[in-house]
Amino acid sequence: MTRPVPRAVERAQRKLGSDFRTWRRLVRLTAEQVADRADVSRDAVLRLEKGDGVTLETALRVARALGRLESLADALDPYESDVGRLRALDELPQRVRSTRSGTAHP
C-alpha cells in the first residue's frame, strides 16, 4: 500500500522540478541532452522537471549533468546552518533513540 505524499513534499518536488527545468534552459540543453549526459531516460528528466517522483540517484545525476551537483550537496551541509554552526564543536551522538513519549534524545 502506497502512503499519500504530504503536501509540503509535493510542493517541494514541484519547486525542485521547476528549478531543474530552469537550470536546463539556462545552460541551453534539451531534455534529451541532459538525459544523455546523466545516463538516464528523457522521460526521467521530464518526470523530474514536472515534480513527479524520481529516485534520489536520478535527481543527483541530472544535477551533475547540469553542473549543479556540488551546490545541491552544499545546500544540505548541516554546518552551513545556524544550528549546525552553534553545535559544530559538540560531539554528535552515535545514534539517536526514541523515548517512550515519541521524542528523540541522544
**Domains of the chain and any CATH numbers:** 7-76 (1.10.260.40)
Average pLDDT, the chain: 90
pLDDT in tens, 53-89: 899 999 999 999 999 999 999 998 888 888 888 887 7
| Cα atoms in the 13 Å half-sphere on the side-chain side of 87 | 8
| Distance from C-alpha of 10 to C-alpha of 87, rounded to nearest angstrom | 31
**Residue 11, C-alpha cell as written in the block:** 510542493
Please choose, from the candidates 57, 48, 41, the residue with its C-alpha nearest in 3D space to the C-alpha of residue 33.
Answer: 41
Give the pLDDT confidence score for residue 104 in this predicted structure.
60
pTM given for the model: 0.79
Q: Which amino acid does the sequence have at 100?
A: R
| 82 vs 69: CA distance, rounded Å | 23
Return the closest-CA partner of residue 52 out of 22, 4, 10: 10
* Model pLDDT, residue 23: 97
